[in-house]
Structures are given as C-alpha cells and as structure tokens.
C-alpha cells in the first residue's frame, strides 16, 4: 500500500528544495515545456501567493509535488458565502464554516495578509470558532481581519489575552499587533475589547463595527486610525472620538437605538462625514455642537429621516444657525419625505458651503403630503424667491437629482437650485424607480423641459436611466439599509 508523500517543510529564501521528479501529470499540463516545474518550491509558493485561495487550492491536482504547496502560501484567505439568487454559489452555513475551519487547520505558511469570512444565513453558535480564528490571525500576523457572520461573540478581554499569551508566550507585545484593518459585522464585541485593540494595534487604520448588541459606551482613542464606521449598535449611548489622523467617520443609527451622545474631540484631519438617522437633525439644527470640525469637512453625506425633512422648513428664511461648511466641496443628501413638501431648507444649506462644486440628492417618497402642507410649501417657495436670488452660488458646477418624480417638491427644489447656481455646468436627472406609471414619466419629461428653459448660460441638462449615475449615493443608502 502506497502512502502520500509528507507535506514540504517551511521554506526560506536560502533553503529551496531540490527539483522533484516531474510526473506524467505535470508533463500533461505542459509544465516542462514552460519551465514551471523546473522552479524550486520556494518560487512556486511565491507565485501561488499571488492567486486567490480557490485558484491556489486548484493547483493541488497538477501533481503530487503540487498537492501541498498551497498550504504554505501567504495569499489572502477570503471565504465568501453570500446569496446572490444562484443556489450554486451558496453553501449551507454550518458546512461552509466547517470548511473554513479545515483550511485554517491545514494552512502552514508563515503569514497571511487577509483573513475574511462572510457567511449569510443563521450559523451554529460554536463558542470556540472565533477564538480559533483569532489564534490563527495572531500566528499568521494577519493585517486585514474581516468577519461577517451571525450568532457569534468576539471573546472578552480576559479570553483574548489568554489566547495571546498562548500564541506569543515570550513576546512583550501580544494580540493582533500587525492589524491594519478590522471589520466586525453581526459579531458582538464589548467596549473594553475594542478599546484594547485600539491601544495595542499601533498600525490599525480602518475600523468598522456593524450590528452590535454589546457596546454601550465607547471611547475611540487612536493615533493611527484613518477611517471609522459604526452602524446599528443598538445599545450604544455614548461615543467619544479622539483620533488625530482620522480622515473619515461614518455613523448609522438604528431606529430603536438610544439617544447617542457623540463627541468628536480631536479630529483635526477629518474631511469626510457620513450620517444616517436622527443625528442628522443635530448636525443641521444644532450647528454649534459640531462647529469644532464642521468647518474642515470636504465631503458630507446626510441620510435624513422624514421627520427631520418635515421640520426643516422652519429654517427656510434665514441663514442664521446653519452649519458653517467653509471647505465643503461635495454634498450628498438622501431625503425621505412626503411628496409635495418643501425642500428649500436644503437649498439654503448649499449657500453655507461657498466652495461646494458637486451636489447629489436622492429622494424617497413615503407618501403624499396633505393639501395644507403642499399649500404651505408653495407659499414658502414664493416668499423665498427674492432671498434665493441674493444668495447666488459661485462654485456649484454639477447637480445630480436621483429618483426625480416631477412632484411639486422636487421640481421647485430643482428650480431654486438653478436660480442660485450661477456657474452650473451640468444638471443630471435620473427619474424615479421603475414603478413610476406612464403618466408620471410624462410629467417628469415635461418638468425637465421646464427646467431646461431655466438653465444658466452654458449649462446642460441630461436625463439618464442607468444606475451608474448616483452610484455613490445608492451604495451608501443600501449599505445603511441592508
């Protein structure tokens, strides 16, 4: 009875194995003709490390010599099991995660750059699974650690430190010290664990936590962090951020979340802010609370809930109290409203951004406004015409209106924008979703012609139907509402 050859021992640049015998299978694959099989194992492993995991594993069928080489690669280990409508691309979660565990056990390479596991669907609650993956990430000095699975808890600080001491018993710095990016989705983690990682991972630049049920009071203190994303942490009451190199902050608030106390204390480089939920109202209507950093923002994305859109008209006639956005160049708004209500507040908001060059607006209509609200909106619009003329915008060049339906609200909004955008080069209109009836489509076309007649000199109007226009807004909306 023949036995399979043992796997090759770990290799170094100065210790390449001698060329093994070329098998018939190797000849069949043309390895001799191309010289591939003449290379030492060390070089082959480097080549395999440039492939993704599936491609590297497939090379094991080439010959006996290649059977175990993939285990020594430093390629990214990415395990993606996400439903896309094709049954052939999705595996039952428990089977899929068992396969992940098996690969982790077999891998013998010295390092792995990325370890990513995404698995949709209800998974088994194996208490040791994430602990085993953390142990693996420490041993392989993983830089990108990305877990998107449900029904799992990240270990608490004591358990984490215990794992660290097992992996590196003689090293002073323990933990995921090589980490540059951490993303946890549907993985519950406690405040103290995140705070420890921020203090011990000196190279951590990107942190994303989504769908967490444990965090209550989080202090983000880091000198390396460049981007921070917090989504739908249902118990989070307090978030304090002090990160001297932070460039981007994204916060999405769950509908049932407690009122958040958000403090950005030391963020001198913050240039991009994205907010979703009730905290948008604080940014818009309590500008003094955000004045320490609002003036330095270059891109702002606000996903404004309907209640805040409804309350905005009380600010229609005055610039007093608007957030001061002196450096803002790109403003993206996702507005949830009742068709027919006034959007004029958001026109005035652009006048608080003297260097704004690009404005994107995606509109979602939950229902029709009452006749009284529509009449009030019309009166406000007529009274505000003179005020808008006095606040011409010198830099606004591109306007994108996504889901434009030709209602009174979005039509007057577009007209008001054209009235102040003296340097406009292009306005792009994408009609509303496909469920718009033929009559509404006709209305959209008629409204577009009316807008075209009011364009500033040299500006053009484009009507598009593809999804590419406004893809940034659409991606952001889908990310926050998945």
pLDDT digits (tens, 9 = 90+) for 314-358: 554 454 578 889 999 999 999 888 777 778 888 888 988 999 999
State the pTM of this model: 0.81
**Any domain includes 452:** yes
**Any domain includes 134:** no
More confident residue, 123 or 278: 278
**Any domain includes 2:** no
Whether residue 33 has pLDDT greater than 50: no
Most confident option among 59-68, 351-360, 373-382: 351-360
**pLDDT at residue 24 in the model:** 38
Whether residue 167 has pLDDT greater than 80: yes
Q: Is 112 exposed, middle or buried (0-12, 13-18, 19+ CB in 10 A)?
A: buried
Strands (E), 244-329: 248-252, 261-266, 272-276, 299-304
Helical residues (DSSP H) of 152-246, grouped into ranges? 157-167, 191-200
**pLDDT at residue 20 in the model:** 34
**Any domain includes 395:** yes
More confident residue, 119 or 222: 222
Calculate the average pLDDT of the chain. Answer: 79
- CA angle, corner 436, sides to 435 and 442, nearest 5? 155
**pLDDT at residue 74 in the model:** 63
Most confident option among 103-107, 214-218, 385-389, 406-410: 214-218
**Any domain includes 53:** yes
Nearest-CA neighbor of 75 among 104, 46, 96, 97? 46
**pLDDT at residue 386 in the model:** 58
Residue that terminates a domain, selected from 27, 51, 73:
73
Parent domain of 46: 37-73
Number of domains in the chain: 2
**Any domain includes 386:** yes
Q: Report pLDDT digits (tens) over 94-130.
A: 888 888 888 888 777 778 889 999 987 766 667 788 9
Pairing of strands 144-153, 114-119: parallel
Residue that terminates a domain, selected from 73, 99, 126:
73
In the 8-state DSSP scheme, what is residue 110? S
């Amino acid at each position: 009875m023949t036995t399979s050859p043992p796997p090759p021992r770990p290799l170094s640049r100065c210790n390449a194995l001698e060329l093994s015998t070329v098998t018939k299978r190797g000849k069949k694959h043309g390895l001799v003709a191309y010289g591939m099989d003449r290379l030492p194992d060390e070089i082959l492993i480097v080549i395999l490390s440039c492939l993704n995991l599936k491609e590297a594993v497939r090379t094991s069928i080439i010959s006996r010599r290649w059977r175990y080489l993939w285990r020594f690669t430093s390629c990214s280990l990415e395990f993606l099991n996400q439903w896309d409508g094709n049954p052939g691309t999705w595996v039952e979660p428990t089977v899929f995660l068992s396969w992940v565990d098996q690969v982790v056990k077999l891998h013998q390479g010295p390092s792995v750059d990325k370890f990513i596991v995404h698995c949709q669907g209800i998974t088994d609650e194996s208490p040791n699974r994430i602990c085993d993956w953390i142990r693996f990430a420490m041993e392989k000095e993983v830089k990108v650690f990305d877990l998107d699975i449900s029904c799992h808890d990240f270990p608490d600080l004591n358990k984490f430190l215990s794992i660290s001491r097992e992996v590196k018993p003689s090293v002073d710095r323990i933990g995921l010290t090589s980490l540059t990016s951490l993303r946890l989705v549907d993985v519950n983690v406690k405040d103290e664990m995140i705070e420890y990682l921020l203090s011990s991972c000196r190279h951590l630049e990107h942190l994303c936590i989504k769908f967490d049920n444990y965090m209550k009071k989080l202090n983000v203190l880091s000198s390396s962090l460049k981007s921070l994303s917090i989504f739908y942490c249902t118990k989070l009451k307090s978030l304090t951020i002090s990160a001297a190199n932070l460039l981007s902050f994204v916060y999405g608030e769950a509908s049932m979340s407690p009122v958040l106390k958000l403090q950005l204390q030391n963020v001198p480089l913050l240039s991009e802010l994205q907010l979703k939920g009730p905290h948008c109202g604080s940014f818009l209507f309590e500008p003094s609370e955000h004045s320490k950093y609002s003036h330095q923002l270059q891109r702002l994305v606000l996903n404004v809930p309907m209640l805040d859109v409804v309350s905005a008209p009380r600010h229609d006639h005055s610039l007093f109290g608007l957030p001061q956005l002196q450096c803002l160049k790109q403003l993206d708004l996702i507005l949830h409203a009742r068709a027919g209500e006034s959007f004029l507040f958001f026109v005035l908001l652009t006048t608080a951004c003297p260097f704004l060059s690009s404005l994107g607006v995606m509109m979602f209509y939950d229902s029709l406004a009452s006749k009284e609200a529509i009449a009030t909106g019309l009166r406000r619009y007529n009274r505000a015409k003179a005020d808008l003329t006095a606040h011409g915008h010198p830099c606004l060049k591109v306007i994108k209106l996504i889901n434009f339906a030709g209602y009174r609200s979005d039509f007057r909004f577009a007209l008001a924008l054209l009235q102040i955008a003296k340097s406009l080069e292009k306005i792009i209109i994408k009609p509303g979703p496909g469920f718009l009836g033929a009559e509404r489509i006709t209305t959209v076309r008629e409204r577009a012609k009316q807008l075209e007649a009011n364009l500033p000199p040299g500006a053009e109007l484009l009507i598009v139907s593809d999804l590419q226009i406004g893809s940034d807004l659409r991606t952001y909306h889908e990310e926050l509402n998945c």
